[in-house]
Homo-oligomer: A and B are copies of this chain.
Amino acid sequence: MIYLDNNATTRVDPMVLETMLPFLQGEYGNASSGSTFAKPAKKALAKARVQVAALLGCQPEEILFTSGGTESLNTALFSATQLHTDRRHLVIGSTEHSAVLKPVAWLEKRQGYEVTRLPVDSLGRVDLDELATAIRPGRTAAIALMWANNETGVISPVPEAAALAEAHGIPFITDAVQAAGKILLSLEGLGIHSLAISGHKFHAPKGIGALYVNRHFPFKPWMLGGAQENNRRAGTENTAGIAGLGAAAELALHHLRGHAGSGEGSGAESVRQLRDRFETEALRRIPGAHLNGDPVRRIPNTSSLRFDGVQAEGLILLLDQRGICVSAGSACTAGSLDPSPVLTAMGLDAVAARSTVRFSFSRLTTADEVDQVLDGLEKSVVKFRSLFPAEGLNG
């Protein structure tokens, strides 16, 4: 099986699992209990906090552990709106993940918030001038703009947008679920209020994530109960998951910085080279193939391609038969009959959106796999078009 669906989820790194195992075996103490027996669990939390902070370029006390990206984003939105309950306006990107879209739609429908959804251009980019225009000083409660899009990989101008928000005293939230571990981040001084990451997108297990909360800004907890996480997130700490997240963060940072002597960014560079070779070859070999999204300002592991005359579900099935695992887009909206809202926001019509397949690489992807996928992809597109010529190039 060749796995190119790493934006949906990733394989747990064996070294991550090794870090987790003691806490699933003998070291089962409750980190919030005072006993000697709980000391290894407590130490694991402290270590993981340092490791995750290093990945994000922030302070350990700015990290709180959650059950994943969705909880982190729900928490961030709740916290930001609780800070200024008199403000009833939100600004978000129109291509945000459902973990932002849905809570914001709830605030709109049930709590009377007005919402400005920033449009994107045909390359999936938001415009900072439009953001500046959308801001209502004294009335905008929060701005949420994703760091990198899950379907196209397009990177938003987060530092610039956060500076704009900070200048207006508006909490700025960013979904970095697809950015963390794929590009180097350095949050210190950026003026971001809170930022969400998810472990299983960078080789930690599912069910663990983190929320960065800027130490200079106030914060209101969402999940209420015990005093865990310095009173910022209640619930017994998932020690094994947290230890795994820490190990995965350290491995990702090591990868991103490159191995000794090979220079900063070389890990991301090696993934980018594989992705670029795949993309260039696919676009060259397959007639009627097109790239979605900004070709430059993108995370290095993602390639969103559409194929004229092809229906994504069918192509994915043909690739699946060849042992190649890819997807049409977000697993969180899989099963929906609607075309991708991300692609339609970029101006693609429903037919074009439905002809899109996402290839997402990881540091575990090999050059040999890329060759096999290119071969399988070419043959599968040809096969689809021969089976359904009415939908084909000349159909």
Contact = CB atoms under 8 A, between A and B. Distances in A.
Interface of A: 1, 3, 5, 8-12, 14, 17, 20, 24-26, 28-30, 32-37, 66-71, 73-74, 97-103, 106, 198, 200, 205-208, 223-228, 234-241, 313, 316, 320, 325, 327, 330-336
A331 B33 contact: yes
A1 B14 CA distance: 30
A225 B332 contact: yes
A198 B236 contact: yes
A28 B228 CA distance: 29
Contacts of A5: 30, 33, 35, 37
Contact of A8 (B17, B33, B98, B331): B33
Contact of A102 (B1, B70, B98, B225): B225
Contact of A235 (B11, B36, B99, B236): B99
A252 B132 CA distance: 57
Given A8-B33, A226-B70, A332 B238 contact: no
Contacts of A74: 223-225, 234
Contacts of A33: 5, 8-9, 327, 331, 334
Contacts of A208: 207
A227 B330 CA distance: 11
Nearest to A244: B24
17 contacts: A8-B33, A9-B28, A32-B332, A34-B334, A35-B320, A36-B320, A67-B71, A68-B238, A97-B225, A99-B226, A99-B234, A101-B225, A102-B224, A103-B225, A207-B238, A226-B331, A227-B334
B336 A227 contact: yes
Contact of A98 (B26, B36, B226, B332): B226
Nearest first, the 3 A-B pairs at minimum CB distance are A207-B238, A226-B332, A99-B225
B224 A35 contact: no
Given A32-B335, A34-B327, A37-B325, 10 more contacts: A9-B28, A33-B327, A99-B225, A99-B226, A102-B234, A205-B240, A206-B236, A207-B208, A207-B240, A236-B331
Contacts of A225: 70, 73-74, 97-103, 332
B34 A67 contact: no
Contacts of A68: 67, 235-236, 238
Contact of A224 (B106, B207, B236, B240): B106
Given A234-B70, A236-B198, A3 B224 contact: no
Interface centre among A3, A207, A237, A330 (most CB of B within 10 A): A207
Contacts of A3: 37
A99 B224 contact: yes
Given A206-B236, A206-B238, A224-B74, A32 B334 contact: yes
Contacts of A25: 12, 14, 17
